[in-house]
Amino acid sequence: MINSIVIVALGIISISMLLLIYRVVKGPSVPDRVVALDALGINLVGVVALISIVFNSFAFLEVILLIGILAFIGTIAFAKFLEKGVIIERDRDA
Amino acid sequence: MLNIGLDILIALFILGGALLALVAAYGVLRLPDVYTRNHAASKSATLGIMLLLFGTFLYFLEDGHFNSRLLLGIAFIFITSPVAGHLLSRAAYNSGVKLWEGSVQDDLENKEKLEQGK
């Protein structure tokens, strides 16, 4: 029973990822694309959790933390680049 | 008996999370400007994936495996996703993305003038 429900949930999440990819391709401004990419990263976390139920194995659950951290750092870097033009600033007294 | 109840609970968590993620994606597709899209993406997607991860946690708990990484992932997404949404909205505003034409009020419109007047 749970396996068929997980398959249905995987279908729903893949539809939502397709909608987000449409926004990434079409989005009129750069922040639109970054918002959609951030949501894509979060959806990817859900896909990994569902895949680990399908395989009935808990070997992939570290990947959840890893994708979460990487998506967060990427979004922060993009936001800082859009706002200031640099990601890592130089020293002020140099 | 208990197992059937737990299975139904897991199914509800997983389906509810997936449907919330779909609602978030539909909002990102349909809403008019970047701020409303960010509002949809950073709230609904976060709650949906947290529900989904909690359903996965219950599934592995049913097998007798307490997985702390899933709880850590839930806490981490709960902390970081709104922060990322806030930084993106601020970056979009400061890089000059226009609000939707139907917006009524923009409190930061005269920000430079106000700061110079101080």
Confidence of residue A4 (pLDDT cuts 50, 70, 90): very high
* % of chain A with per-residue pLDDT over 90: 70
What is the structure's pLDDT at A87?
82
pLDDT, tens only, B13-68 = 999 999 999 999 999 999 999 999 999 999 999 999 999 999 999 999 988 889 89
What is the structure's pLDDT at B4?
87
The whole-number average pLDDT for the span A28-55 is: 92
The whole-number average pLDDT for the span A50-70 is: 92
pLDDT higher than 80, residue B118: no
User: Which among B29, B78, B93 is the top mutation candidate for probing chain A, defined by the most A β-carbons within 10 Å of its own β-carbon?
Assistant: B29
Cα separation, A36 vs A24, whole angstroms: 6
Query: pLDDT higher for B23 or B2?
Result: B23
Q: How far is B117 from chain A (nearest CA, A)?
A: 24
Helices (H), ranges, chain B: 2-30, 34-62, 68-94, 111-117
In 3-state terms, what secondary structure has residue B31? coil
> Tokens 């870097």 correspond to what residue?
A77
The whole-number average pLDDT for the span A30-50 is: 93
Contact between B41 and B49 under an 8 Å Cβ cutoff? The reply is no
Q: How far is B8 from chain A (nearest CA, A)?
A: 9
Residue B60 phi, psi dihedral angles, 5° rounding:
-75, -25
CB A1 to CB B85 under 8 A? Answer: no
CB A5 to CB B65 under 8 A? Answer: no
pLDDT higher than 70, residue B98: yes
Contact between B88 and A34 under an 8 Å Cβ cutoff? The reply is yes
Residues of A in contact with B49 (CB under 8 A): 42-43, 45-46
Confidence of residue B2 (pLDDT cuts 50, 70, 90): low
What is the structure's pLDDT at A94?
58
Cα separation, B27 vs A18, whole angstroms: 13
Contact between B39 and A39 under an 8 Å Cβ cutoff? The reply is no
What is the structure's pLDDT at B5?
87
What is the structure's pLDDT at B1?
56
The helix-helix angle for B2-30 and A30-54 (nearest 10°) equals: 160
Q: How far is B110 from chain A (nearest CA, A)?
A: 18
Cα separation, A7 vs A2, whole angstroms: 9
pLDDT higher than 80, residue B112: no
Q: Which pair of structure tokens corresponds to residue B98?
A: 């226009």
pLDDT, tens only, A61-82 = 899 999 999 999 999 999 999 8
